[in-house]
Amino acid sequence: MRLVNKTAIVTGASRGIGRTVAKVLAEQGASVVLAGRTRAALEEAAEEIRTRGGQATAVVCDVTVEGDVEQLVKATLEGYGRVDILVNNAGITRDGLVMRMSEEDWDAVLDTNLKSVYRCTRAVLRPMLKQRAGRIVNIASVVGLTGNAGQANYAAAKAGIVAFTKSVAREVASRGITVNAVAPGYIDTDMTRALSPEQRERILSGIPMGRMGSTEDVAYAVAFLAGEEAGYITGQTLVVDGGLVM
């Protein structure tokens, strides 16, 4: 129970990586606030945690809406009195070659995947600065490090997260707050289930471990960075990819 007495906000917690991150943080003792747009799925995820003896609250929040994000942090402070951990996980893809990419697809991906990280981080910093403690973990991606044809918007957003992470880490390092990123490789979720069998084969052949990652593989890395033991680690991007990028 290394996260006992901690309160965590996880965005994009209705399914995929975020849902497992919420589950693992709760298993380690944290009270978890699950945020996302789909109420039914969020409630189900929160109920699963409570059934296993954990503390969890579902809050409907679209991370592209500033008022929703403010409300999310307000509800967390009202419910639990503090916010110790923020996991910026919500994300979408709108893939396409850049020549044919619409501004709408560019903006949607940058807003959901990058600007939301700024929005949520800004919203939790005041309480964290008051507490003189906090952990922010941003979910980037290996494609933010390598680039990927057909994902210029997504890769740019994820590379932006890496630089944002380092910048904020520098701003708050003296206040007991760490800011790190986790960069997953290919993880088995709804996001990657859209890949064709050929794309999947090609990707698998490039992964030294020969398998896609599980949501648990990512969640345990996040949980490590969210704990006290990781207190001297900041501004880092931890790659969780079965050896794909090294």
Ligand X SMILES: NC(=O)c1ccc[n+]([C@@H]2O[C@H](COP(=O)([O-])OP(=O)(O)OC[C@H]3O[C@@H](n4cnc5c(N)ncnc54)[C@H](OP(=O)(O)O)[C@@H]3O)[C@@H](O)[C@H]2O)c1
Binding site for ligand X (CB under 6 A): 11-18, 36-38, 41, 61-64, 89-92, 112, 139, 141, 184, 186-187, 189-192
Helix axes 16-27, 39-51, angle to 10 degrees: 30
Question: Residue 100 Cβ, how far from ligand X at the closest point, in Å?
Answer: 21
Min separation Cβ 5 and ligand X, Å: 26
Least gap, CB of 28 to ligand X (angstroms): 19
Question: Which CB sits closer to ligand X, 6 or 15?
Answer: 15
Nearest to ligand X of 117, 172 (CB atom): 117
Residue 99: Cβ within 10 Å count:
6
Which residue, 9 or 125, has its beta carbon nearer to ligand X?
9
Q: Give min distance, CB of 175 to ligand X, in A.
A: 26
CB burial readout 200-213, b (16+ within 10 A) else e: eeeeeeebeeeebb
From residue 69, alpha-carbon distances to 65, 79, 173 in Å are: 7, 15, 24
Annotation says 154 is catalytic: yes
d(CA 101, CA 189): 24
- Bridge partners of 136? 86, 179
- List the catalytic residue out of 154, 186, 220, 232: 154
Strands across the sheet containing 237-240: 55-60, 31-36, 7-11, 85-88, 134-139, 177-184, 237-240
Q: Bridge partners of 85?
A: 8, 135
Cβ closest to ligand X, residue 106 vs residue 186: 186
Length of the chain: 246
Q: Which residues are part of the catalytic machinery?
A: 154
